[in-house]
Amino acid sequence: MVKQLVRDEEKQRPLLDEHEEKHFTAGEVVRDIIIGVSDGLTVPFALAAGLSGANAPSALVLTAGLAEVAAGAISMGLGGYLAAKSEADHYHRELQREQEEIDTVPDTEAAEIADILSQYGLGPQEYGPVVTSLRNNPKAWLEFMMKFELGLEKPEPRRALTSAATIAVAYVVGGLVPLLPYMFVATADRAMATSVGVTLAALLFFGYVKGRFTGSRPFLSAVQTTVIGALASAAAFGMAKAVQSI
Amino acid sequence: MVKQLVRDEEKQRPLLDEHEEKHFTAGEVVRDIIIGVSDGLTVPFALAAGLSGANAPSALVLTAGLAEVAAGAISMGLGGYLAAKSEADHYHRELQREQEEIDTVPDTEAAEIADILSQYGLGPQEYGPVVTSLRNNPKAWLEFMMKFELGLEKPEPRRALTSAATIAVAYVVGGLVPLLPYMFVATADRAMATSVGVTLAALLFFGYVKGRFTGSRPFLSAVQTTVIGALASAAAFGMAKAVQSI
């Protein structure tokens, strides 16, 4: 049976390889760009629309908008950096802890392997040999515990930095789209009309791209992203009008 | 050996249970609250500081700030909702695909089990019985492939909705802190002084809490969170001054 299986495995190696392809998901950089751009399109757009609703002059809408873009890019970028960083720290703390446990309480850790595998209906006959083999290979044992007990993947070392930079730049790019009209049209409410048109088009486009890369239905994603932008700016618009009328 | 192991396992059940405790991480709701509050503290704070830097009157800083809070809460909330939703959709698509593969190309999937386990130095002698047992238990086989091949965890059904609401409300609460002074102090630059003091204190506090709940060093986290807020508002301040001087 085992021999048969090994032959199967060799026979199906090509099958396995093409199989990998099928589980393709977006590159993390692409995803960061999409996150940054679509957030950048939403909040500065909404803020600008809100202020225009309060009859603020274009110059001031632009001041507020660009200030928001600067603040948003930094807080998203640094926030993303720290998030990725603390995830990596968490991984390394857990790695060290697992290593210590394997060294100090190997029987407990061995029992955990059995515990994990028995959740899949495996009995001592099946998991016994696995446990023994892992106990004889501490490096593999550690990796096994990290992945299967804690579900933690080894983080890419430079991920945090590139992610932060990508999101921040993408946020600025996205944020400039709704603000451009205010640079060229002096009266805010006329600038707003252009801004709304341009931004809704951009939201539809990026929602579509987002859907394509995240594996959800592109048209649905386009509509969802645009609706979020529209609702956010409607809320900002209403809020600005309300505050102004106090 | 196997019997010995099973006895070990029973003997160490209490050890296992207390072990669970040690891998405690923040409840997801707590984490959502922290995310929302610390973001809410940062961007509206920076925007208000930026506009004050451009000598805008308190009323207008307040208008812009509250508009930003409304826009940010909605875009973060709905954004978080869609993210969680599309993650859940992704899980269910992959679940269905794995099920189909188990039904249509069981040998390939069996070879994948062998492939996964052989990465941990297991040979046919060890993984052979596991493969056989999983093949005889399709439900467990599917769960095994989801977790160990794709590393996907079953998503909580109502997670997306609660997460969205929690983040949005937390963002509003956080966003109101830096804006309150502008409601009571008419001259923006005097209001700003109060706002800066109150918000930096709040950032320190939430950074500390964040550190406590995410398992990183609380004081480091307090400083990092505060520095992000300070940098973001410095950038917004500088940007507003720059735009204004054009």
CB-based contacts of B153, cutoff 8 Å, min separation 6: A151, B91, B147
Chain A residue with minimum CA distance to B231: A74
Residue among A51, A108, A239 whose CB faces B19 most closely: A108
Question: With contacts defined as CB-CB under 8 Å, which chain B residues touch A209?
Answer: none
| B125 CA: distance to closest CA in chain A (Å) | 7
* pLDDT value, residue A37: 87
Most B CBs within 10 A among A1, A4, A5, hence the mutation to make, goes to: A5
Chain A residue with minimum CA distance to B238: A67
Rounded CA separation B137/A151 (Å): 23
* pLDDT value, residue A13: 44
Percent of chain A's residues with pLDDT above 70? 89
| A52 CA: distance to closest CA in chain B (Å) | 10
Rounded CA separation A79/A171 (Å): 13
| B149 CA: distance to closest CA in chain A (Å) | 10
| A186 CA: distance to closest CA in chain B (Å) | 14
pLDDT band at A27 (very low <50, low <70, confident <90, very high): low
Mean pLDDT in order along chain B per 10 residues (246 residues)? 40 46 55 82 88 84 91 85 80 89 88 86 83 86 86 78 89 94 87 92 90 81 88 87 80
ipTM: 0.75
Per-residue pLDDT tens digits for A184-196: 988 888 898 999 9
Per-residue pLDDT tens digits for A105-143: 888 888 888 888 888 888 888 888 888 888 888 888 888
Radius of gyration of chain B (CA): 26
Residue among A74, A101, A236 whose CB faces B67 most closely: A236
Residue among A82, A97, A134 whose CB faces B224 most closely: A82
Contact B236 A71 (CB under 8 A): yes
Per-residue pLDDT tens digits for B163-217: 889 989 999 999 999 999 999 988 888 898 999 999 999 999 988 988 887 777 8
Whole-Å CA distances, A113 to B1, B90, B226 = 15, 28, 42
**Three-state helix/strand/coil letters over chain A:** CHHHHHHHHHHHHHHHHHHHHHCCCCCHHHHHHHHHHHHHHHHHHHHHHHHHHCCCCHHHHHHHHHHHHHHHHHHHHHHHHHHHHHHHHHHHHHHHHHHHHHHHCHHHHHHHHHHHHHCCCCCHHHHHHHHHHHHCCHHHHHHHHHHHHCCCCCCCCCHHHHHHHHHHHHHHHHHHHHHHHHHHCCCHHHHHHHHHHHHHHHHHHHHHHHHHHHCCCHHHHHHHHHHHHHHHHHHHHHHHHHHHCC
